[in-house]
Chain A
Amino acid sequence: MDGENEILIDGFLSGTLSEKEKQIFDQKMIDPGFVLEVTFYKQMKTAAIIEGRNEFKKRLEQIGLDHSNKKEPILILFNQAIRQIAYPLAASFILIVALSALYIYQSSYNQLSKFSKKGGYSSIIKTNVKVSSLNSVSWKQSILLLKQTRVKPI
C-alpha cells in the first residue's frame, strides 16, 4: 500500500480527515482491496488499544503495589484505627448510657408511684413524726428517726 493510502486510513481512524480527503476516501472504498486494508488497520488499532490498556493497567498495578508498600503516615493509621474501632465503641457507649438512663428513670418513677399509692407524705405524718423536725436535723439523722418510728420502707 502506498503512503497516501496509509495517511488516508490513519486520518479516517483518528477522525481527522478534511472534507476533500473524506471524498477521496469514499471513492476508494469501492475497491475491495482498499476495504480490506481499512479493515486491517481498524483491527490493528483495536488490538493496539487493548494491548495498550492491558499494559497501562499493569503499570498502574505496579504503582499501586509501590504505593501500598510505602509506610503509611501515623496520622492515616490513626484515622483508620478510629474508623475501625473508636466509632463502634462510641456508639456502644452511647447506647449503654441511654439504656442505663432509661432504666434509672423507670425505677425512680416506679418508686414514686408506690410511694404515692401508700399515701405519700401523709403516711409519715401519721407516724407522729413532725416533718418540721426532719428539716432541722441532718439526712442521716432523719433516716434514723424514721426507722425508729417504724415507717415501712417503700
Chain B
Amino acid sequence: MRKSDNIVLSYLYAEYINIARSIVNKYPGYNIDVEELLQLSMIIFCEKIIEPSFILTAKLSTFFYPFCHNKCREMIKEKGKNRTNEITQEDDIPDEKIQSSEMEEWLAKYGIEGMRNCLENLREKRKNIIIDYYYRRLKMADIAIKENLSNAEHAKVEKSRAITDLKKCMGI
C-alpha cells in the first residue's frame, strides 16, 4: 500500500466498496456517489498509511471505516454549500506557518497555480520524482528503482535538477 501498488489498490477497491455503500445507505436522500466517496476516502487513507509514524493497531477495514464515514459527512456538507469535490482545496494540507512580508508578496505574485503549472511542465521523470518524494514520501532508493535510475544518488541528482527547473520556471 505504501508503494501504492495497483494490484493492492484494486483488491482494496473491491473489498471496501461495500463499506462505502453501507455508509451511503445511512444517509438516504443526499445522492452521494459511492465510487466518488470510496476514491476520496482511499486517498486520505493511503496518505495516512504512508506517514512514517503510522502503526496499524486494528483490522485494516476497521481503520478504514471512520475515514470513509468522515468523508461522507464532509461530502454532505459540501453538497449543502454547493461546492465541488475537486481536489484543489488546500484546506487539509499542513501549513508550516512561515510568516514573512516577502513571502506574502511572492505568493501573491506566483501562487500555487503557478507552481502547479511549472510542475506539470517538468519532464515526466523529474515530475514523478518530486511527487514521489513529497507526496508519496518514498525514499530515494525506492524512487531510483521506480524510475529506472541507477541508484539513490542518481535519483538525488535528478531531484536537484527538477528543483532547479522549477526555480527557473518560477522566476527565482
Given contacts A44-B115, A47-B112, contact A53 B135 (CB under 8 A): yes
The answer to whether A50 touches B103, judged by C-beta atoms less than 8 angstroms apart, is no
Closest 5 CB pairs of A and B: A52-B135, A48-B134, A47-B115, A60-B39, A39-B103
The answer to whether B102 touches A57, judged by C-beta atoms less than 8 angstroms apart, is no
The answer to whether A36 touches B103, judged by C-beta atoms less than 8 angstroms apart, is yes
A61 at the interface (CB under 8 A from B): yes
Among A40, A53, A56, A59, point to the contact of B170 (Cβ < 8 A): A40
Q: How far is the CB of B70 from chain A (nearest CB, A)?
A: 17
Which of B61-69, B72-80, B88-96, B142-150 faces chain A? B88-96
Label chain B's interface by main secondary structure: helix
Tell me the B38-71 residues at the A interface (CB within 8 Å).
38-40, 42-43, 46, 52
Q: Which residues of B contact A (CB under 8 A)?
A: 4, 6, 9-10, 13-14, 17, 35, 38-40, 42-43, 46, 52, 87-88, 90, 93, 96, 98, 100, 102-103, 106-107, 110, 112, 115-116, 118-120, 127, 130-131, 133-137, 160, 163, 166-167, 170, 172
Q: Which residues of A contact B (CB under 8 A)?
A: 6, 12-14, 16, 29, 32, 35-36, 38-40, 42-57, 59-61, 63-64, 66-68
Q: How far is the CB of B103 from chain A (nearest CB, A)?
A: 4
Give Cα A18–Cα B149 distance, bound, in whole angstroms.
Answer: 30
Q: Which residues of B contact A42 (CB under 8 A)?
A: 96, 98
Among B9, B102, B110, B130, point to the contact of A32 (Cβ < 8 A): B102
Q: Which residues of B contact A56 (CB under 8 A)?
A: 4, 43, 46
- Could you list some 23 contacts between A and B, CB below 8 A? A14-B137, A29-B98, A36-B103, A38-B96, A38-B98, A39-B103, A40-B166, A43-B107, A44-B130, A46-B115, A47-B112, A47-B115, A48-B131, A48-B134, A50-B93, A51-B119, A53-B43, A55-B131, A59-B4, A59-B6, A63-B10, A63-B13, A64-B39
Q: Which residues of B contact A67 (CB under 8 A)?
A: 10, 13-14, 17
Q: How far is the CB of A22 from chain B (nearest CB, A)?
A: 12
